[in-house]
Each structure stands twice: as structure tokens, then as C-alpha cells.
A and B are shown apart, each in its own frame.
Chain A
Amino acid sequence: MTPHRFRSFVLVAAVALSLAGCAFYASVGPGAHAIQGKLDVTLDSTWNRQVDGASNIWPETWTRNGPLLDTVHLAPGIEEGKALVNLPENALREYPRYRAGSSPTDIVAFVQGTLARTVAASDFELVEVAPAEVAGHSGIRFEFRFGAGNQGSFETDRHALGYAFERDKQLYLLLFHAAEIHYFAAGKPAFEAIVASARLPQVRAAAR
């Protein structure tokens, strides 16, 4: 029998309505934003903040054009023995854990090891690790290129820029990674502005 097209439309209203009800992103900024009460930043424009979805495992994830093109992760106060992302313990088995007193080299490896799991990152090429002041603390600034995704998903060439410092044996990380072509350069100033605005909450400091 010759195959031919058979038009059939399925009942969709219920599914469509339920889909319409869930949104993975909400807008954030401009203005001040507190990250889990552990870090305050000020945004000079509006970003999309991830609030749902399977990949919503970082303490804070923001994007301007979608995660394939640009992503900011903020992870303040990562304690000794904890991973950068929030997942059930069995899913975290192979995620790297933070070690208090880590050297700059090891902090970069910690970040890369996490990206290897979250976005199938590999082929890391370190560009620079240098001293930097972040939120009034002496910390590091690091940059590396990498490839993300693999067959079956979208492979992208990426460039990452991160700032980190340690305080009270806890790691504070601000990370930006974006498509190497155009999006890294285009998003870098906005990310640098977020980093420059980062402050530890006054309340917490006063309470200590």
C-alpha cells in the first residue's frame, strides 16, 4: 500500500494549558538583588533568572540570550565538602567538592570539574589565573576556553570568566560562560559590572 499522509489532530488544550502554566525563567533587575542572603549585587539591566527546569541546580543562574549563548552562575558561601550545584546526594557522587583553603589552581579545577558534569564540558584551555579583588576580598580572576555539549546535543565553543574568593572557609564564586564568538565579548561588560557591584550583606557582617 502506498503510504500517504493522514491528518490527525490530537486533543491538545489540556497539555497546552499545563505547559503554559510553567515557566523556567523570571526577570531580574535592574536594581539590587540579594543572593541567598550571602551576597548582594546590583544589576544595571534586566536579566532572565532561572527559577525552574531540570538544569536549575546552581544556587543562581542568569542569562540574557539563553544558556546555549550566555550564562551567569552565582554561588556564594559554598562550604567545605559541598558541591557547587544542588542535587540529591546520589546524583552528586561524581561532582567535585569544595576543599577549604584550596589554591587558585584547585578552585579553577573545581569549577571545570563541575562544568564537565553540568554541560558536558571538556577540552579546557586555561587562558589566565590572576589575583583580583572581589567584594572587598582578595581573590582570583580566571579565564578559560572549553567545548560544551556532545553528540546528541548542541556542541558549543565557549569562553568562561570567573571571580572567586574564600571567606570563613567558604567559597564565593561568580562565573560567566558564553559562546566564544560574539557572546563572550558582548556579555563580559555586564558581567564585570555585576562583579564590581558585589558586596557581602551588611546585616550579616554586623551580626558577626
Chain B
Amino acid sequence: MNLYKRAKAICVVMLAVSLAACVQNHHRLQETLTRPAERDARILVLPVDAELFELSFGGAPTPRQDWTVAARANMNAALRGFFEERKIAVAFHDGVVDDAQTAKLMRLHAAVGQSIRAHQYDGPESLPTKKGKFEWTMGPAIRGLAPADAADYVVLVHVRDSYSSGARVAAQVVAAAVFGVALHGGMQIGFASMVDLNTGDVVWFNRLLRGAGDLRTAEPAKETIAALLEGMPQ
């Protein structure tokens, strides 16, 4: 994990943020979940992948373990609340991957997610054949991530969140007031996906790029989860 590169990436993404507000961030194949006749839909949530950073005076991101721990707990609680409200049974993956086949499926899941981010959205790497449609799949083998009676869908949530330290805020104020220059502050970057475990199709994908939101406390975390899960089939 390269913090320098991460800082640079954050700057670049920062530039894209204001644009993100006016483009479509979520894509989906269907509006409603396919529910078995006899029961509610069941969703398996992969371990929330969140890391929180504090920006120093100079804007260098420093990982904050206390915030990350709090954010993961807040997000899990918010996810549970979100799904329960919608009468969707939710289970949380414990994050233990101890066999080679599951590890392979997790790697494929990550590669497909990365490919959607790189190639589905407008940008230098967008693919002409993906324009105007949303067709991504993991293939039926992804069923192996959970037993058939345990889950119908798998949901992944990934967030990288940064916050200005007091010193950084001061730097931003000085830069803006004295020099009329905007320095980048905290950022919330994330994506979420839902895969139909029976077909392997990615049925919904959403990305989040913004300078707002707070995962460190329970109430604002709910808002972030709602923003991340925007447009999710229900």
C-alpha cells in the first residue's frame, strides 16, 4: 500500500468529484430482487472494506485505526438496519477464507469490481462495447461463495475515507483566504456491488465520490450507507 500514490490518487479523484455529482453513478440490471416464493431474499454481505485516513497539514494521509474500527462497526449496523427495513434477510461473511477455491472467487470478484470501475464509467479506460449498457458477470461458479440456502445475493461495500486534521483545516483556510487557492480536504471514495449468486450476474453497481459524509459516528454512517446503496434492487 503506497501512501504517496494514495495521496496522489485522492487528489486526482478529488478533481473528479464535482463532476460525479452530475453523472450517473449507479447501474443496474433489475429493480427488484428475485425472491423465492416461500421466503424473503437472503443477502450475504462480504466484510466491509473500509479504511479511514487523517490528512496532515500538508495533506499527507495517515491511516487512523480507531476511526477505521468505528467505521466498520457503524457500517455493519447501518447495513443491517437498511436491509431489515426492507425485509431482506442479511448475513455477514466472517472474512475467513481458508480454501484455495474461495480465495479464487474472491479474487475474481475483486477483478470484476475493478473492471467495472475502470471500464463502465466515462474516462480514458472506458470500453466502447460497454457504452449504454451494463453487462458484467462473475459466471455461475460464484455460487461457491455461499451455500444455496444461505444467500441469493452477495453484496460488497468498499470505502476509503479521509478527513482534514485541525492543522489541515487551518492550511485550507489560509490558502483560501490569503491566496485564493483551494487545497483538497477530506474525501469519501467508495463503491458497492450486488451479485446474483445463481447467475453470477452483477445486478447492481454504485460508486461514491464526494467531499461529504462521516463514517466515524453512527448517524452520519447511516447516511453514507444510504448513499452507497442508492439504486440497489429491493
Contact = CB atoms under 8 A, between A and B. Distances in A.
Task: Find out whether A and B make contact in their complex, taking CB atoms under 8 A apart as touching.
Answer: yes
Interface residues of B, number: 54
Contacts, number: 134
A135 B18 CA distance: 52
B69 interface: no
B129 A3 contact: no
Majority DSSP secondary structure for residues of A touching B: loop
A112 interface: no
Nearest to B185: A6
Contacts of A19: 123-124
A27 interface: yes
B199 to A, nearest CB: 11
Contact of B166 (A2, A8, A25, A65): A2
Contacts of B182: 8-11
Interface string B207-222: 0000111100000000
Interface stretch (A113-121, A125-133, A152-160, A196-204): A152-160
Contacts of A64: 129
A63 interface: yes
A32 interface: no
Given A22-B124, A66-B115, A181-B139, 10 more contacts: A4-B166, A4-B169, A9-B211, A23-B126, A26-B128, A27-B129, A47-B129, A53-B125, A65-B115, A155-B107
20 contacts: A5-B212, A6-B168, A8-B172, A8-B185, A9-B182, A11-B182, A12-B15, A12-B16, A16-B15, A23-B126, A24-B125, A26-B128, A48-B129, A66-B118, A69-B111, A154-B110, A157-B104, A181-B105, A181-B141, A182-B200
Interface of B: 1-2, 14-19, 54, 104-105, 107-108, 110-112, 114-115, 118-119, 122-129, 136-142, 163-169, 172, 176, 182-186, 200, 211-214
